[in-house]
Copies of this chain bind each other. A is one copy, B any other.
């Protein structure tokens, strides 16, 4: 049977499991129970777009000792069997009477004993991908077990990337970079923004993306305001700044960086703001090394862009999710470590209240950072007016 697409060697997964087990031993947990796509992919290699359907929950159990156990809908058996996971238990989902809960409860108790301690990701950025009714039913079906926080074991491990993960993210960044280089083919004065969005996604696919999980952007005269709205039919006009920000996926891994373009030659204010953003990202890059904190990178960039950030952040971790791990902001004291992949994302406020955002991806090496996205030029690229 051919291995699951995008999956790593069994040795890599065994290492990840061993690290999770070390964390469990330290916290006296009997097992970890995982429910979201990124956590399950991280420990199994199970990668599918079928997660888009909310109907079926999926469970991966990591015991304190021994091998992982998948408790999943029957429709996923063939794909899970192509991963390194050997113990695969299925129920015929959908089952409105018992959506895998008795099988899951039995498996948890078999592995951990009736009074085992079940660690579940419960902290920042996590959620439980199963109905709350089933969560309550599970607790009733395993009444002596305790369900407690994994204390950040899973997010902590996922934050530090292996060489193979970094290679995947480097590939993803290279695909996005090739697509960004081709934006002049699709964007110029007179083109509606929603067409730019569609065409840019096509470029990402043509350059090798498996899929384009995320595309945000904006366009406005001399800057923009909102960077999370979907594209509307507003037509690009001379004097617009166009920003495209993509999180495309290759082998399950995201990049997350953006590029700004000026429709016709930029105003001095725009040209200067762009240059400042590039310098801010460089300042973040130079501050990025093992032992620095997430907050240090924020402050290094903030000193360059000036002004005051009213909430928000200047970057974050990137990996199996578009954003994950630490946030580059004053309150996040996470220590950076070799293997962390980050988005540096400084924001500048222009005199008229508009903003511009610039974003690059880096990896923390042994003693300094390395660019994963090829840096944007200091001068904002100009699209035909």
| 8 Å CB contact of A229 from B78, B96, B132, B311 | B78
Given the known interface contacts A91-B311, A311-B92, the answer about A127 and B122 at a Cβ–Cβ threshold of 8 Å is: no
- Please indicate the chain B residues that have their CB under 8 angstroms from the CB of A126 in the complex: 54, 131-132
Q: Known contacts being A53-B323, A198-B205, is A5 close to B232, with CB within 8 Å?
A: yes
Q: Which residues of B contact A229 (CB under 8 A)?
A: 4-5, 48, 78-79, 82
A51 nearest CB across to chain B (Å): 9
A331:B97 contact, CB within 8 angstroms? yes
Whether a CB of chain B sits under 8 angstroms from the CB of A12 is no
Q: Max chain B CB contacts within 10 Å: which of A205, A212, A327?
A: A205
Q: Which chain B positions have C-beta within 8 A of A93?
A: 311-312
* Chain B neighbourhood of A2, CB < 8 A: 232
Q: Which of A47, A230, A312, A323 has the most CB of B within 10 A?
A: A230
CB-CB < 8 A to A73: which residues of B? 311
Q: Is there contact, CB below 8 Å, between A201 and B211?
A: yes
Q: Which of B76, B124, B133, B231 contacts A123 (CB 8 A)?
A: B133
**Chain B residue with Cβ nearest A129:** B127
Q: Note all chain B residues with C-beta closer than 8 A to A206.
A: 198, 202
What CA separation (Å) do A274 and B201 show in the bound complex?
A: 33
Q: Is A25 an interface residue (CB 8 A)?
A: no
What is the bound-complex CA distance between A310 and B77, given in angstroms? 13
Contact partner of A208 among B124, B129, B198, B216, CB < 8 A?
B198
For residue A297, which residues in chain B have a CB less than 8 angstroms away from its CB?
none
Asked if A55 meets B132 with Cβ closer than 8 Å, knowing A2-B232, A92-B310, the reply is: no
Q: A79-B229, A125-B131, A205-B202 are in contact. Are A54 and B210 (CB under 8 A)?
A: no
A residues 28-59 in Cβ contact with B at 8 Å: 47-50, 52-55
Given contact pairs A82-B229, A201-B205, A324-B54, A127 touches B127 in the complex (Cβ within 8 A)? yes
Task: Tell whether A191 is near chain B: CB-to-CB under 8 Å.
Answer: no
Contact with A50, one of B122, B228, B331 (Cβ below 8 angstroms): B228
Indicate with 1 or 0, residue by residue over A299-318, a CB within 8 angstroms of chain B CB atoms.
00000000000111100100
Contact of A52 among B6, B194, B322 (CB under 8 A): B322
Q: Are B198 and A230 in contact (CB under 8 A)?
A: no
Residues from 80 to 138 in A contacting B, C-beta threshold 8 Å = 82, 91-97, 99, 120, 122-133
Residue from A50, A73, A228 having most chain B Cβ neighbours under 10 A: A228
A55 to chain B: which residues have CB within 8 Å?
Answer: 124-125, 316, 323-324, 327
Interface residue tally on A, bucketed by range: 35 or more
In the bound assembly, the distance between CA atoms of A194 and B127 in angstroms comes to 31
What is the minimal beta-carbon distance from A194 to any residue of chain B, in angstroms? 7
Q: Is A149 an interface residue (CB 8 A)?
A: yes
A78: chain B residues at CB < 8 Å are 225-226, 229
Q: For residue A384, which residues in chain B have a CB less than 8 angstroms away from its CB? A: none
Tell me, yes or no, whether A339 is within 8 Å of chain B by CB: no
Query: Within the assembled complex, what's the spacing in Å between the Cα atoms of A74 and B8?
Result: 39
Q: Is A79 in contact with B127, judged by CB distance below 8 angstroms? A: no
A308 CB to closest chain B CB (Å) equals 12
CB distance from A231 to the nearest CB of B (A): 7
Q: Which of A92, A131, A206 has the most CB of B within 10 A?
A: A131
Q: A49-B214, A94-B313, A202-B205 are in contact. List 14 more A-B contacts (CB 8 A).
A: A5-B229, A6-B230, A49-B216, A74-B312, A75-B227, A78-B226, A96-B327, A120-B132, A122-B133, A124-B131, A128-B132, A198-B210, A210-B231, A212-B212
In the complex, 9 of the A-B residue pairs with CB atoms within 8 angstroms, ordered by the A residue number, are A48-B229, A91-B311, A96-B332, A124-B133, A126-B131, A127-B128, A127-B132, A201-B211, A210-B230
